[in-house]
């Protein structure tokens, strides 16, 4: 038997393989409550414009409310034979209200219906992700404030470069995640137009009110072109692009956790809550949460690339290829949410070893730049000359296997007799960090000020399970 929702043109049922490749209900059921929200807005508009009667609209609305309850309580039966979430809901609606259920699809196509549902889901998920990123920023800022003066090595090329503070390092990620929130909010602003009413691709001859449905669903306005309305997936691409950049930042932090928890670095410790053991080596504590965050970044990148490839060759307007837009997006944003939750947990859990960090900060002549700066500031040397003198001092210290602060004044004066005992005031790692008072620098007072500003901007962390909990699989199923 052909599909009763669209099969009037067909004489026989699809092949089993056709049903298998065509069905999307296994994943697009995530859009269930968005679909109901869109249908409720649409039926209210149909009644107000006189396209259907108020009695018909009330019956349909009541049926949709009952279906919402069934889905939320987990008793709704999803059927693969009905292909997708739209026809599953419409079929159940027909069982509840009879033939009038068919009036719901007046002036609407599955093309604008799915475009609407997907936009609503992505918009809801952006809002949830924004809250999670803000929670991660709070965790970072609070830890940064607690360790504004904890000295550690700063790196370039993964080689010890100059002393910084642990708090300063953490605040770098606060800045990164602030940009991520900005990109997601930009994506939200651009997606916040309603495609409902574009119908299949050309609009409709019915006297619909698209402004009404747009307002009812929280959109700024209806989309302006019916062809673009049903064929656009920029909103998903842009959100995935923002998610991919955020995943880069999460992965970089995760990589540092992996390095820093190793015996070779020994900078920080994660508790049992965010580590696992080995099945054969009882001494092991593995930073698996960080490694999984690092690994899941690839899934997020892949979803973006996959959707770009799907969309790149499609003519206007809708093509069935676009059914491939959802699984990757659902998975990527769910993965991002889980990574954000895990990272926020690690940040709150991590404990730095201040003594080990300080020791590492002073290794590899990390205060050499401070010596060069002192030669410029106190002796008036051009920086290039000061750089050359400092290089000779470092070489002398290396030959004696000493740190710069351990080298004698006589040894330094043998290289440049103008050097005075005052030079030792700039060769300690704490003095080095404290001296970096320029805007955005690592001086502890700077770090405290910036951390306090971020905490104030972000609001106090609640530390409740809700703030760091990942988005559930039904995220976005809020009433609209």
Annotated active-site residue 278? The verdict is yes
Contact 168, 447 (CB under 8 A): yes
The pairing of strands 151-156 and 159-165 is: antiparallel
Catalytic residue chosen out of the listed positions 2, 79, 278, 473 = 278
- Those residues whose C-beta lies under 8 Å from the C-beta of residue 329, and which sit 6 or more positions away, are 118, 122, 236, 239, 240, 303, 307
81 in helix, strand or coil? Answer: helix
Report the alpha-carbon distance of residue 265 to residue 364 in Å, rounded: 14
Contact 46, 103 (CB under 8 A): yes
202 in helix, strand or coil? Answer: coil
Annotated active-site residue 262? The verdict is no
- Those residues whose C-beta lies under 8 Å from the C-beta of residue 333, and which sit 6 or more positions away, are 122, 125, 129, 239, 240, 243, 471
- Those residues whose C-beta lies under 8 Å from the C-beta of residue 33, and which sit 6 or more positions away, are 68, 71, 72, 474, 476, 477, 478, 479
Catalytic residue chosen out of the listed positions 157, 205, 279, 479 = 157
Report the alpha-carbon distance of residue 459 to residue 185 in Å, rounded: 19
Report the alpha-carbon distance of residue 239 to residue 122 in Å, rounded: 8
For 364, left (φ over 0), alpha (ψ -120 to 50), or beta? left
Strand partners, 156: 159
Report the alpha-carbon distance of residue 115 to residue 108 in Å, rounded: 11
* Residues designated catalytic: 157, 278
């Amino acid at each position: 038997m052909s599909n009763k929702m669209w099969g009037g043109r067909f004489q026989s049922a699809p092949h089993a393989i056709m049903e298998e490749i065509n069905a999307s209900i296994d994943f697009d059921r995530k859009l269930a409550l968005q679909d109901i929200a869109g249908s409720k807005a649409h039926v209210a508009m149909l009644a107000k414009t006189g396209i259907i009667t108020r009695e018909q609209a009330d019956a349909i609305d009541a049926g949709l409310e009952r279906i919402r309850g069934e889905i939320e309580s987990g008793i709704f039966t999803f059927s693969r034979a009905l292909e997708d979430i739209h026809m599953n809901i419409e079929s159940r609606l027909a069982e509840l209200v009879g033939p009038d259920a068919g009036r719901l699809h007046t002036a609407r196509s599955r093309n604008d219906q799915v475009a609407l549902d997907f936009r609503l889901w992505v918009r809801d998920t952006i809002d949830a992700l924004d809250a999670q990123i803000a929670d991660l920023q709070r965790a970072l800022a609070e830890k940064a404030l607690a360790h504004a003066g904890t000295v550690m090595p700063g790196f370039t090329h993964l080689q010890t470069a100059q002393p910084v503070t642990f708090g300063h390092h953490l605040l770098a990620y606060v800045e990164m995640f602030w940009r991520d929130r900005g990109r997601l909010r930009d994506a939200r602003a651009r997606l916040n137009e309603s495609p409902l009413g574009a119908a299949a691709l050309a609009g409709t001859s019915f006297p619909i009110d698209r402004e009404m449905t747009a307002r009812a669903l929280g959109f700024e306005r209806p989309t302006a072109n019916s062809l673009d309305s049903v064929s656009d997936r920029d909103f998903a691409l842009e959100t995935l692009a923002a998610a991919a950049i955020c995943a880069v930042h999460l992965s970089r932090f995760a990589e540092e956790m992996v390095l820093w928890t190793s015996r070779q670095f020994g900078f920080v410790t994660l508790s049992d809550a965010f580590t696992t053991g080995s099945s054969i080596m009882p001494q092991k504590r593995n930073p698996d949460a960080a490694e999984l965050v690092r690994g899941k970044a690839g899934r997020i990148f892949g979803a973006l690339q996959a959707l770009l490839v799907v969309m790149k060759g499609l003519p206007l307007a809708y093509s069935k290829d676009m059914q491939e837009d959802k699984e990757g997006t659902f998975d990527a944003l769910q993965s991002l949410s889980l990574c954000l939750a895990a990272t926020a947990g690690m940040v709150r859990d991590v404990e730095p070893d201040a003594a080990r960090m300080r020791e590492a900060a002073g290794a590899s002549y990390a205060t050499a730049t401070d010596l060069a700066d002192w030669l410029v500031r106190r002796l008036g040397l051009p920086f290039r000359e000061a750089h050359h003198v400092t290089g000779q001092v470092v070489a002398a210290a290396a030959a004696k296997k000493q740190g710069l602060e351990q080298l004698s004044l006589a040894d330094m004066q043998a290289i440049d007799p103008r050097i005075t005992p005052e030079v030792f005031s700039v060769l300690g790692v704490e003095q080095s960090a404290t001296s970096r008072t320029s805007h955005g620098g690592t001086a502890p007072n700077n770090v405290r000020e910036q951390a306090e500003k971020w905490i104030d901007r972000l609001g106090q962390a609640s530390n409740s399970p809700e703030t760091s909990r990942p988005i559930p699989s039904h995220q976005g199923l809020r009433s609209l």
